[in-house]
Structure 1
Amino acid sequence: MADISAKAERPRPVYRNIHITQIVGYRLPPAGIVSILHRVSGALMFVLLPFIVWLFDTSLTSEISFERFASAFTAGIGFMPGWFIKLIALALIWAYLHHFIAGVRHLYMDVMHAVTADAGAKSALFTLASSALLTGVLGAKLFGLY
Protein backbone atom coordinates (compact mmCIF):
# COMPACT_ATOMS: atom_id res chain seq x y z
CA MET A 1 0.00 0.00 0.00
CA ALA A 2 2.88 2.36 0.68
CA ASP A 3 3.99 2.10 -2.96
CA ILE A 4 0.62 3.31 -4.26
CA SER A 5 0.55 6.31 -1.93
CA ALA A 6 4.12 7.26 -2.95
CA LYS A 7 3.03 7.41 -6.57
CA ALA A 8 0.04 9.56 -5.68
CA GLU A 9 2.20 12.04 -3.73
CA ARG A 10 4.63 12.71 -6.56
CA PRO A 11 3.79 15.84 -8.50
CA ARG A 12 2.65 15.22 -12.03
CA PRO A 13 4.63 16.89 -14.81
CA VAL A 14 3.08 20.07 -16.12
CA TYR A 15 2.75 20.33 -19.86
CA ARG A 16 2.00 23.73 -21.23
CA ASN A 17 1.05 24.81 -24.68
CA ILE A 18 3.38 27.15 -26.45
CA HIS A 19 2.10 30.49 -27.66
CA ILE A 20 2.03 31.28 -31.38
CA THR A 21 4.87 33.78 -30.90
CA GLN A 22 7.10 31.02 -29.52
CA ILE A 23 6.84 28.75 -32.58
CA VAL A 24 9.89 30.23 -34.30
CA GLY A 25 12.14 29.56 -31.31
CA TYR A 26 10.67 26.15 -30.45
CA ARG A 27 13.05 23.31 -31.15
CA LEU A 28 11.05 20.46 -32.62
CA PRO A 29 12.69 17.01 -32.54
CA PRO A 30 13.52 15.39 -35.90
CA ALA A 31 10.67 12.89 -35.54
CA GLY A 32 8.23 15.79 -35.15
CA ILE A 33 9.60 17.49 -38.25
CA VAL A 34 9.25 14.26 -40.25
CA SER A 35 5.71 13.83 -38.98
CA ILE A 36 4.70 17.34 -40.02
CA LEU A 37 6.42 17.03 -43.40
CA HIS A 38 4.72 13.65 -43.95
CA ARG A 39 1.37 15.39 -43.65
CA VAL A 40 2.52 18.31 -45.82
CA SER A 41 3.80 15.99 -48.55
CA GLY A 42 0.54 14.03 -48.55
CA ALA A 43 -1.47 17.24 -48.85
CA LEU A 44 0.83 18.52 -51.60
CA MET A 45 0.39 15.32 -53.62
CA PHE A 46 -3.37 15.60 -53.20
CA VAL A 47 -3.41 19.23 -54.31
CA LEU A 48 -1.17 18.48 -57.31
CA LEU A 49 -3.25 15.47 -58.36
CA PRO A 50 -4.85 17.35 -61.32
CA PHE A 51 -1.34 18.27 -62.51
CA ILE A 52 -0.29 14.62 -62.23
CA VAL A 53 -3.30 13.47 -64.23
CA TRP A 54 -2.58 16.11 -66.87
CA LEU A 55 1.07 15.04 -67.07
CA PHE A 56 0.10 11.41 -67.47
CA ASP A 57 -2.64 12.06 -70.02
CA THR A 58 -0.58 14.47 -72.11
CA SER A 59 2.47 12.23 -72.16
CA LEU A 60 0.57 9.14 -73.36
CA THR A 61 -2.21 10.36 -75.64
CA SER A 62 -0.25 10.82 -78.87
CA GLU A 63 3.11 11.88 -80.25
CA ILE A 64 1.85 15.42 -80.72
CA SER A 65 0.62 15.64 -77.15
CA PHE A 66 3.95 14.24 -75.94
CA GLU A 67 5.75 17.03 -77.80
CA ARG A 68 3.42 19.52 -76.09
CA PHE A 69 4.21 17.81 -72.78
CA ALA A 70 7.97 18.06 -73.41
CA SER A 71 7.75 21.68 -74.52
CA ALA A 72 5.86 22.61 -71.33
CA PHE A 73 9.08 22.08 -69.39
CA THR A 74 11.09 24.35 -71.70
CA ALA A 75 8.69 26.95 -73.14
CA GLY A 76 6.04 26.86 -70.44
CA ILE A 77 2.25 26.81 -70.61
CA GLY A 78 0.24 29.98 -70.98
CA PHE A 79 1.38 32.46 -68.33
CA MET A 80 3.60 29.93 -66.52
CA PRO A 81 7.24 29.75 -67.67
CA GLY A 82 9.04 26.44 -68.09
CA TRP A 83 11.17 26.86 -64.95
CA PHE A 84 7.98 27.24 -62.90
CA ILE A 85 6.58 23.99 -64.33
CA LYS A 86 9.88 22.33 -63.42
CA LEU A 87 9.63 23.78 -59.92
CA ILE A 88 6.14 22.33 -59.52
CA ALA A 89 7.43 18.97 -60.76
CA LEU A 90 10.32 19.20 -58.29
CA ALA A 91 7.87 19.86 -55.45
CA LEU A 92 5.94 16.81 -56.56
CA ILE A 93 9.13 14.74 -56.67
CA TRP A 94 10.02 15.82 -53.12
CA ALA A 95 6.48 15.15 -51.88
CA TYR A 96 6.45 11.65 -53.31
CA LEU A 97 9.94 10.72 -52.10
CA HIS A 98 9.46 12.12 -48.60
CA HIS A 99 5.99 10.60 -48.22
CA PHE A 100 7.24 7.21 -49.42
CA ILE A 101 10.36 7.14 -47.23
CA ALA A 102 8.46 8.42 -44.17
CA GLY A 103 5.75 5.83 -44.80
CA VAL A 104 8.34 3.04 -44.91
CA ARG A 105 9.78 4.47 -41.67
CA HIS A 106 6.35 4.31 -40.02
CA LEU A 107 5.77 0.76 -41.24
CA TYR A 108 9.17 -0.28 -39.89
CA MET A 109 8.37 1.26 -36.50
CA ASP A 110 5.00 -0.50 -36.46
CA VAL A 111 6.57 -3.88 -37.22
CA MET A 112 9.34 -3.52 -34.64
CA HIS A 113 6.88 -2.61 -31.82
CA ALA A 114 9.71 -1.33 -29.63
CA VAL A 115 11.35 1.82 -30.89
CA THR A 116 13.51 3.94 -28.63
CA ALA A 117 13.70 7.70 -28.81
CA ASP A 118 17.26 7.42 -30.12
CA ALA A 119 16.26 5.02 -32.90
CA GLY A 120 13.30 7.24 -33.77
CA ALA A 121 15.54 10.28 -34.03
CA LYS A 122 18.08 8.42 -36.17
CA SER A 123 15.42 7.09 -38.54
CA ALA A 124 13.89 10.58 -38.76
CA LEU A 125 17.26 12.08 -39.68
CA PHE A 126 17.74 9.32 -42.25
CA THR A 127 14.31 10.12 -43.71
CA LEU A 128 15.07 13.83 -43.95
CA ALA A 129 18.54 13.31 -45.42
CA SER A 130 17.59 10.62 -47.94
CA SER A 131 14.54 12.48 -49.23
CA ALA A 132 16.56 15.70 -49.59
CA LEU A 133 19.45 13.89 -51.30
CA LEU A 134 17.23 12.02 -53.76
CA THR A 135 15.25 15.18 -54.48
CA GLY A 136 18.50 17.03 -55.15
CA VAL A 137 19.72 14.34 -57.54
CA LEU A 138 16.43 14.17 -59.45
CA GLY A 139 16.11 17.96 -59.40
CA ALA A 140 19.57 18.31 -60.92
CA LYS A 141 18.50 15.92 -63.69
CA LEU A 142 15.19 17.79 -64.15
CA PHE A 143 16.95 21.16 -64.52
CA GLY A 144 19.56 19.69 -66.88
CA LEU A 145 22.65 19.86 -64.69
CA TYR A 146 23.77 16.43 -65.88
Structure 2
Amino acid sequence: MSSTVAKPRPKHLNLMQIRLPVPALISIMHRISGAILFLALPLLLWLFQSTLASQASFAAFQSVVSNPLMKIVLLGLLWGYLHHLLAGFRHLFLDLHIGVELETARLTSMIVLVAGIVLTLAVGVALW
Protein backbone atom coordinates (compact mmCIF):
# COMPACT_ATOMS: atom_id res chain seq x y z
CA MET A 1 0.00 0.00 0.00
CA SER A 2 1.47 3.30 -1.02
CA SER A 3 1.02 6.40 1.00
CA THR A 4 -0.18 9.42 -0.87
CA VAL A 5 0.98 12.77 0.30
CA ALA A 6 -1.39 15.59 -0.44
CA LYS A 7 0.21 18.73 -1.78
CA PRO A 8 -0.29 21.70 0.49
CA ARG A 9 -2.92 24.05 -0.83
CA PRO A 10 -1.95 27.68 -1.39
CA LYS A 11 -3.07 30.02 1.33
CA HIS A 12 -3.00 33.29 -0.58
CA LEU A 13 -4.41 32.98 -4.07
CA ASN A 14 -3.46 35.61 -6.60
CA LEU A 15 -6.71 36.24 -8.47
CA MET A 16 -4.83 37.73 -11.40
CA GLN A 17 -3.04 34.42 -12.02
CA ILE A 18 -6.12 32.20 -11.95
CA ARG A 19 -7.34 31.35 -15.43
CA LEU A 20 -11.11 31.08 -15.41
CA PRO A 21 -13.02 29.11 -18.03
CA VAL A 22 -14.93 31.07 -20.68
CA PRO A 23 -18.39 30.34 -19.17
CA ALA A 24 -17.21 31.79 -15.85
CA LEU A 25 -15.87 34.92 -17.57
CA ILE A 26 -19.15 35.37 -19.45
CA SER A 27 -21.09 35.02 -16.20
CA ILE A 28 -18.89 37.60 -14.46
CA MET A 29 -19.14 39.96 -17.46
CA HIS A 30 -22.94 39.51 -17.38
CA ARG A 31 -23.03 40.73 -13.78
CA ILE A 32 -20.64 43.62 -14.44
CA SER A 33 -22.54 44.76 -17.54
CA GLY A 34 -25.80 44.65 -15.59
CA ALA A 35 -24.34 46.80 -12.82
CA ILE A 36 -22.91 49.31 -15.30
CA LEU A 37 -26.22 49.53 -17.15
CA PHE A 38 -28.05 50.02 -13.86
CA LEU A 39 -25.72 52.85 -12.87
CA ALA A 40 -25.79 54.48 -16.33
CA LEU A 41 -29.57 54.34 -16.72
CA PRO A 42 -30.34 57.59 -14.80
CA LEU A 43 -27.76 59.48 -16.88
CA LEU A 44 -29.13 58.11 -20.15
CA LEU A 45 -32.72 58.88 -19.16
CA TRP A 46 -31.73 62.41 -18.17
CA LEU A 47 -29.94 62.91 -21.51
CA PHE A 48 -32.94 61.69 -23.49
CA GLN A 49 -35.36 63.73 -21.37
CA SER A 50 -33.28 66.87 -21.89
CA THR A 51 -33.56 66.46 -25.67
CA LEU A 52 -37.32 66.93 -25.38
CA ALA A 53 -37.11 70.29 -23.59
CA SER A 54 -36.38 72.50 -26.61
CA GLN A 55 -34.67 72.61 -29.98
CA ALA A 56 -31.64 74.23 -28.39
CA SER A 57 -31.26 71.41 -25.88
CA PHE A 58 -31.57 68.88 -28.72
CA ALA A 59 -28.81 70.71 -30.62
CA ALA A 60 -26.65 70.63 -27.49
CA PHE A 61 -27.32 66.90 -27.17
CA GLN A 62 -26.28 66.36 -30.79
CA SER A 63 -23.04 68.25 -30.24
CA VAL A 64 -22.25 66.18 -27.14
CA VAL A 65 -23.03 62.88 -28.88
CA SER A 66 -20.98 63.81 -31.95
CA ASN A 67 -17.85 64.04 -29.78
CA PRO A 68 -15.63 60.99 -30.55
CA LEU A 69 -14.98 60.32 -26.86
CA MET A 70 -18.71 60.27 -26.14
CA LYS A 71 -19.24 57.93 -29.10
CA ILE A 72 -16.75 55.51 -27.58
CA VAL A 73 -18.53 55.71 -24.21
CA LEU A 74 -21.89 55.09 -25.89
CA LEU A 75 -20.43 52.17 -27.85
CA GLY A 76 -19.19 50.73 -24.56
CA LEU A 77 -22.68 51.05 -23.10
CA LEU A 78 -24.12 49.49 -26.24
CA TRP A 79 -21.74 46.55 -25.88
CA GLY A 80 -22.78 46.22 -22.25
CA TYR A 81 -26.44 46.17 -23.25
CA LEU A 82 -25.95 43.65 -26.06
CA HIS A 83 -23.72 41.41 -23.96
CA HIS A 84 -26.17 41.53 -21.06
CA LEU A 85 -29.05 40.70 -23.40
CA LEU A 86 -27.29 37.77 -25.08
CA ALA A 87 -25.87 36.39 -21.83
CA GLY A 88 -29.31 36.75 -20.26
CA PHE A 89 -30.81 34.59 -22.99
CA ARG A 90 -28.03 32.07 -22.39
CA HIS A 91 -28.78 32.03 -18.65
CA LEU A 92 -32.49 31.53 -19.36
CA PHE A 93 -31.68 28.47 -21.46
CA LEU A 94 -29.37 27.19 -18.72
CA ASP A 95 -32.22 27.60 -16.21
CA LEU A 96 -34.30 25.37 -18.49
CA HIS A 97 -31.44 22.82 -18.48
CA ILE A 98 -30.69 23.48 -22.14
CA GLY A 99 -26.99 23.66 -22.92
CA VAL A 100 -25.69 22.60 -19.52
CA GLU A 101 -23.26 20.04 -20.96
CA LEU A 102 -19.66 21.19 -20.76
CA GLU A 103 -18.97 21.47 -24.49
CA THR A 104 -22.31 23.18 -25.17
CA ALA A 105 -21.75 25.62 -22.31
CA ARG A 106 -18.32 26.51 -23.69
CA LEU A 107 -19.71 26.92 -27.20
CA THR A 108 -22.62 29.14 -26.14
CA SER A 109 -20.23 31.24 -24.05
CA MET A 110 -18.04 31.86 -27.07
CA ILE A 111 -21.11 32.61 -29.20
CA VAL A 112 -22.29 35.21 -26.65
CA LEU A 113 -18.85 36.82 -26.53
CA VAL A 114 -18.34 36.94 -30.31
CA ALA A 115 -21.94 37.94 -31.11
CA GLY A 116 -21.83 40.83 -28.64
CA ILE A 117 -18.62 42.17 -30.16
CA VAL A 118 -19.79 41.68 -33.77
CA LEU A 119 -23.15 43.36 -33.14
CA THR A 120 -21.46 46.26 -31.35
CA LEU A 121 -19.00 46.73 -34.22
CA ALA A 122 -21.82 46.57 -36.78
CA VAL A 123 -23.86 49.22 -34.98
CA GLY A 124 -20.71 51.27 -34.34
CA VAL A 125 -19.81 51.29 -38.03
CA ALA A 126 -23.38 52.25 -38.93
CA LEU A 127 -23.47 55.11 -36.40
CA TRP A 128 -19.94 56.44 -36.71
- Place the TM-score, normalised by the shorter chain, in its bin: 0.7 to 0.9
Amino acid at match of 1:40: I
How big is each residue's C-alpha offset from its partner over 1:27-80, in whole Å with a ceiling of 9 and x where there is no partner?
211101101100110111122123211222123333332221111123xxxxxx
Q: Which has the higher contact order (CA 8 A, sep 6+)?
A: 2
Distance, in Å, in 1 between the alignment partners of 2:108 and 2:11 is 27
Instruction: Decide whether the 8 Å contact of 1:94 with 1:132 is kept in 2.
Output: yes
Amino acid at match of 2:28: I
**C-alpha root-mean-square deviation of aligned residues, in Å?**
2.2
User: 1:1-146 alignment to 2 at 5 Å?
Assistant: 19-20=13-14, 23-74=15-66, 82-112=67-97, 115-142=100-127, 144=128
- 5+ unaligned residues in a row in structure 2: which ranges? 1-7
Task: From the superposition, tell whether residues 35 and 16 of structure 1 become closer, same or farther in structure 2 (CA, over 3 Å).
Answer: farther
Q: CA deviation at 1:129?
A: 0.4
Give TM-score scaled by structure 1 length.
0.72
Distance, in Å, in 2 between the alignment partners of 1:127 and 1:67 is 36
| Count of aligned pairs | 121
- 5+ unaligned residues in a row in structure 1: which ranges? 1-13, 75-81
Instruction: Decide whether the 8 Å contact of 1:58 with 1:68 is kept in 2.
Output: no
What is the match of residue 11 of structure 1?
none
